[in-house]
Amino acid sequence: MQTNKNRLALGTFGTNLSGAISATTVPERWSGSWEDNRELALLADQAGLDFMMPVGRWRGYGGTTDHNSNSFETLTWAAGLLASTQRIRVFGTVHVSLFHPVLAAKQMATVDQIGGGRFGLNIVCGWYEDEFRMFGLSAGDSSTTRYDEGDEWLEIIKRIWSEDAPFDYNGKFFQLKGVKGDPKPFQRPHPPIFNAGFSPRGRQFAKEHADTIFFGVTDVESAAGELKKLKADLTATGRNVGVYTNSFIVCRPTRKEAEEYYHWYAVENADEGAVETMLRGRGYLNRGLPPNAIARLKKRLAGGNGGYPFVGTPDDVAAEMQKVSAIGIDGLALGFVNGLKFLPYIRDEVLPRLERAGLRSAA
């Protein structure tokens, strides 16, 4: 089940968090306030963007800004935004171990009813140990356990969403009696399900359950081969699965201005402490990477949470997006230093170029 109305879907990423996905100290960094989120949602809806994808985050990354420490819970955030907008899809990013499936099924059905069928689910099984400790849990040393729990969690939710008669569930992680839940979601059989598992077990989970998978693009040339293989595997599952990537955008009238601004916010004014926490938390410091690879990684982590950078003029950005689309990427979750400040230029200059290239239709 693919839900794209545009050949290349575009959405905002992580605006429910202070700093969004840019770990920077520049004063114009994203506030994450409700007023800014609501205004951005109206702007994105009117501009014809396809979705807003939040990040499920429970504590910040430290550093001078305590990056991402001010974080709206994503299902309640989605409910507010869906009630405020007309067309755009709004996701919830839900941590399997932190939301009981009976509760999560009802919350998501409620949010999908509020949005008249515009809710989407991004399932995360978790990796940030400090967050899990707040709940008296462990993210677990083995990703296997987290994704095994995810299998059961999703099975229960799908049964609640599709079955009318009460059922018992006897799994390894959940033992439940007489389960039922109404209302069902507005979208049948269920809202679109996204997943970004990258480990072998995470990938297996994504291939089995997700309607859209996130795939990391380091550079377009090497991604092309890997993506071809992933798409062949997905075709073999017999399901029609989309592939998106996470990214960020710095678009200015000249290439020099765009590159200088990227360097300014992501190197000269990077929130170094927050970037260190990300490097450590995601295990990059144990991989024996050479210093120049670490420096490149740090710039991308500060720039946009490690996503693919679209940096340059409107022509550059549109051309790069065409390249990414040509290797088989169906959608981009886009980070901005400040969406309210920078999305209007992208709406006016980049979107029309993508329309002319046949990747998108007019809003």
Q: Which residues bind ligand FMN (CB under 6 A)?
A: 55-56, 93, 124-128, 143, 196-199, 202, 214, 246, 333
User: Which segments within 171-237 are labelled E, that is strand?
Assistant: 175-179, 193-195, 212-214
Taking the complex as a whole, how short is the minimal distance between the CB of residue 80 and ligand FMN, in angstroms?
Answer: 18
Residue 59 identity: R
Nearer to ligand FMN (CB atom), residue 108 or residue 196: 196
CA distance 275 to 277: 5
Taking the complex as a whole, how short is the minimal distance between the CB of residue 30 and ligand FMN, in angstroms?
Answer: 16
CA distance 44 to 52: 8
Q: Which residue is nearest to ligand FMN (CB)?
A: 202
CA distance 81 to 11: 14
Taking the complex as a whole, how short is the minimal distance between the CB of residue 121 and ligand FMN, in angstroms?
Answer: 12
Taking the complex as a whole, how short is the minimal distance between the CB of residue 278 and ligand FMN, in angstroms?
Answer: 11
Residue 298 identity: K
Taking the complex as a whole, how short is the minimal distance between the CB of residue 284 and ligand FMN, in angstroms?
Answer: 12
Nearer to ligand FMN (CB atom), residue 18 or residue 93: 93
- Cis peptide bond N-terminal to 183, omega within 30: yes
User: 28: how many CB neighbours lie within 10 A of its CB?
Assistant: 12
Taking the complex as a whole, how short is the minimal distance between the CB of residue 128 and ligand FMN, in angstroms?
Answer: 6
Q: Where are the alpha helices (DSSP H) in 57-128?
A: 74-84, 101-114
Residues facing 120 on adjacent strands: 91
- Three-state SS annotation for 285-340: HHCCCCHHHHHHHHHHHHHHCCCEEEEECHHHHHHHHHHHHHCCCCEEEEECCCHH
CB contact at 8 A, 298 and 275:
yes
Taking the complex as a whole, how short is the minimal distance between the CB of residue 163 and ligand FMN, in angstroms?
Answer: 28
Nearer to ligand FMN (CB atom), residue 252 or residue 298: 298
